[in-house]
Amino acid sequence: MARDSNKKGKIILALDVADISSAGRLLDRTGNRLKIIKIGPALFTGYGPKVVEMVRRKGADVFLDLKFHDIPNTVASAVRQAVRLRVKMLTLHTSGGAEMLKAAAEAAGQEAARLKVKKPLLLGITVLTSDRGSVNTKATVISRARLAKNCGLDGIVCSAGEAAEVRRACGKEFVIVTPGIRPRGADAGDQKRVATAKAAFASGADYIVVGRPILEAQNPGAAIQNIIQECYNATGDRYGRPDQGIAR
> What is the four-CA torsion angle of 33, 39, 44, 45, rounded to 10 degrees?
-130
| Residue 166 backbone class (left: φ over 0; alpha: ψ -120 to 50; beta: rest) | alpha
Distances (CA, A) of 129 to 103, 153, 188, 194: 26, 20, 11, 7
In the annotation, is 67 catalytic?
Answer: yes
Q: How far apart are CA 53 and CA 85, in angstroms?
A: 8
Active-site residue (options: 7, 8, 58, 67): 67
Half-sphere exposure in the Cβ direction for 74 (13 Å, CA): 7
Cα dihedral sign, 170-155-142-98 = negative
Distances (CA, A) of 174 to 3, 121, 185, 247: 7, 10, 31, 22
Q: 119, 176, 191, 107: which is closest to 145 by C-alpha?
A: 176
User: Catalytic positions, please?
Assistant: 67
